[in-house]
Every structure is written in structure tokens, then in C-alpha cells.
Amino acid sequence: MNILHIYKDYYPVIGGIENHVRQLAETQVAQGHAVTVLVTNTSLRSASETLNGVRVIKAGRLINIQSAPLSAALLSFVRRETTRADIVHLHAPYPPGEALNLWFGRASHTVITWHSDIVRQKTLLRFYAPTLRRVLQQADRILPTSAAYARTSPWLKDHLDKCSTVALSVDTARFSPSAILSPRAAELRAGLLARAPVTPSATILLSVGRLRYYKGLDDLIRAMPDLPDALAVIAGDGPMGAKWKSLARLLGVADRVIFTGDVSDADLPDYYHAADIYVLPASARAEAFGIAILEAMACGLPIVCTDVGTATSWVNQNNVTGLVVPPRKPDQLATAILKIEGNRLMRSLMGTAARQRVLDEFTLDKMVQRVMDVYNSVLAQPHSG
């Protein structure tokens, strides 16, 4: 099968969707399929390379408009590459890729993984909405990452008949529990605790990801005055970093909120092993799934997250794998963290349940098989558009 994935970025750019596309593409190659990923480059020049068997085309990037890279070269690549594809697999939201495939794509079948609605870019959405409706109408199948998100999306509610849920996945070999900390994880934990005025037995709260508004980490920072023996480790970088650091200083908790900057893929499992509780206080629907929740759960960490009407509160089952609280409620976030922090048995049981939930529902093999089942079903049917 010739498969073409279209999105805005690919490895070495790191992010939840980027990681998902990479995992899917590399596994499809390992199964014997010819896979091309078409994205934009981080520079003006177009480039092509093969990474782990995946043909990666990076169209030269002109400018970013509201997180959507624009590329003049993308049009010609879409025309050429869709001609060769049996399936075009769009990863939304990326309006330029979706629109170009609609207007100029030549593949007979298209599926869309619906990672998230367009939430904050309201000006862009006002102009893009008519095209987006056509994109959804023309798609053969739409793959929301959770049934909960599909039901609550204003864009998918009229297309539920062609929605097939395909949850995201995690590498359960790479992300796994560690009964005894590795030397690197032990060193990391000791180093983090030594940077703050806390006891050696303090609770390490971890959050991983791009520092974007919808992560809601300002609420974790606001909860920290009520968590005197906890250290918040925020791993990642992004546009909200400076503002959230200023907030920590304003609230007098900067010495217990550590911003690590970007963490390498190689070091990421050690951060999970060094932590006690994973926290994702998401504040908007743009946090559609929370892939880092899966990584933390696979490593046996209990989760505290918020319910923003997306997959976060479905992946993390309240009172089973962790606790779920309303968004934008720092006091309730602190209460939930204290509840797990003060009960080692609860922490252990939730961590064990979290790992098992990942094994039951969110493995890479399960995700790829669900996608391939959709492809085969679509290819067996006349094009719906």
C-alpha cells in the first residue's frame, strides 16, 4: 500500500502529533508499506530524506500564521505525491495541508485523524470554516482520538456516521515502570530535589509538553502555595514559558517550580521514573488527548488531570488511574494532589492500574492495527466524495 501522511511538522520537531505520525509511519514501513510524510521545513529550502524507512518531504516554509506554516512549494508536492498514493492520511488541524489536498489532491481516498478542533485561532477559523466543512464532507473516514471528543466537537457532530475512534498510543517497552530507579533516574531525582527548599522525601510533580496556554500550568503554579512539600517539574519549552516563570516568582514559589526546558527523547523516561505524580491541568479543548499522560501511565505514575470535555478524563479514569478535577480550579487541583501525595497505597494502586490501562487500550500495535483496518475498509468502498 502507498500511504501519504500530511501534516505541518515531523521529527526532529517534537510534539504529540509529530510523535504519533512518526510512530505510525515507521510501523507501517516495518509492515511492508511504502510511506511518505509530507510536511513543511523549518527553513525556506525544501528537502527530502529517508528516516527509518520513511520518505520525508519537507516543503520550504515561508511564514507561520497562527501556528500554521505556509509553504508555496507545498502545492506542487501535494499534486505530485497524492497521484502516487492509495491513501492520503491528513492529521488535523493543519488547514493548509487539508485545503491543498481538497483542491489539488489526486488520491482516490482520504482519511483524517482529528487530533483537535481549531480552538484559539478564531480569526483563521472564520475564513477557513467553509473549506473545513468541505474537507470533512469529502473525507472517506474521520478518526477522532476518542469518542468523547467526537461527541463534543461542533465540527464532527454532523459526521459521526463516518467517525472511527483510533486512540493514540505509547511505546510500552520504552515507557515502563521501574521498581528500582536507574542510576540516571536516581541522579536526576536527587538533583531536582537539591535545587529546591524541600525535604528529600518531597513529592515530585511532573508535567511534560510544549508550554502552550491550554496546558493550564498556571493553575499548577497557583496550587503550589498549598503544596508545601512538593516540587513541580515542568519539562518543555514554549510561548508561555516566560509568563509562567513570572507568575511563579510573583506567588513566591519560583524556588519550587523548576522549568527544565526541552528534554531529549533519550532522557524522557528518566523524568517519569524520577517523579511521583503526573499533573496535566489542561484549561481548554485544544488539549485533545494528552499523549504525555499515556507515557506517564505506562511508567506507572498516578495522574491528576482536568476534565475539559476531551480524552484527558477518559484516558485517566477518575479514582482508578488517578483523579480528575474541573479546569481552572487551583484549589481543587491542590486537594487532589494532596490526596494522592498523602496515601502511598493509593499512589501505588493507581500507578499499577494506569500501566494496565495502557496495556489494555493504548499500545502501538493496537493503534496501528486500528488504522490499517480503516484503510482496508476505505479501500474496499467507492470514494464517498
321-371 pLDDT tens trace: 999 999 999 999 999 999 999 999 999 999 999 999 999 999 999 999 999
Q: What is the largest CA-CA distance in the chain?
A: 64
Q: How far apart are CA 334 and CA 232, in angstroms?
A: 12
SS3 call for 259:
strand
Give the residue-averaged pLDDT of 25-38: 98
Nearest to 252 by CA among 216, 224, 281: 224
pLDDT attached to residue 383: 62
Phi and psi torsions of 208, nearest 5°: -125, 135
Lowest mean pLDDT among 34-48, 129-143, 270-284, 370-384: 370-384
The candidate with the shortest Cα–Cα distance to 297, out of 167, 184, 116, is: 167
Render 62-130 in DSSP notation, one character per residue.
-EEETTEEE-STHHHHHHHHHHH-SEEEEEES-HHHHHHHHHH---S-EEEEE-----S-HHHHHHHHH
Q: What are phi and psi of 170, to 5 degrees?
A: -145, 150
Report the C-alpha gap between 312 and 209 in whole angstroms: 14
User: What confidence score (pLDDT) does residue 125 get?
Assistant: 81
Q: What is the CA radius of gyration of the chain?
A: 21
Query: What nine digits make up the cell of 157?
Result: 457532530
Cell of 31: 509492515
Task: Report residue 115 as a C-alpha cell.
Answer: 487530533
Grid-cell match 519550587, residue found: 256
For 34-67, the pLDDT digits (tens) are 999 999 999 999 999 999 999 999 999 999 887 7
pLDDT reported for residue 129? 93
pLDDT for the residue numbered 295: 96
Q: How far apart are CA 371 and CA 368, in angstroms?
A: 5
Average pLDDT over residues 242-261: 98
Q: Distance between CA 305 and CA 289 in Å, rounded?
A: 11
Q: What angle do CA 313, 149, 89 make, to 5 degrees?
A: 125
Domains for the chain: give ranges and CATH numbers: 2-169+363-379 (3.40.50.2000), 183-361 (3.40.50.2000)
pLDDT of residue 68: 87
pLDDT (0 to 100) of residue 71: 95
In this prediction, residue 273 carries a pLDDT of: 98
pTM score, two decimals? 0.88
pLDDT digits (tens, 9 = 90+) for 177-234: 988 899 999 999 999 999 999 999 999 999 999 899 999 999 999 999 999 999 999 9
Residue 149: pLDDT band by 50, 70, 90 thresholds? very high
pLDDT at 384 exceeding the cut of 70? no
Euclidean distance between CA atoms 377 and 26, whole angstroms: 21
Which parts of the chain fold into alpha helices (H)? 16-30, 74-84, 95-104, 122-138, 147-152, 183-194, 217-223, 241-250, 268-274, 291-298, 312-315, 330-341, 344-361, 364-379
Tell me the pLDDT tens digit for each residue of 253-282: 999 999 999 999 899 999 999 999 999 999
Nearest to 61 by CA among 37, 38, 39, 40: 40
Q: First vs last Cα of the chain: how many Å apart?
A: 21
Average pLDDT over residues 64-87: 93
**pLDDT higher at 302 or 67:** 302
Which residue in the block uniquely carries the three cell numbers 500501566? 355
Q: State the CB neighbour count (10 A cutoff) for residue 237.
A: 15
pLDDT of residue 385: 52
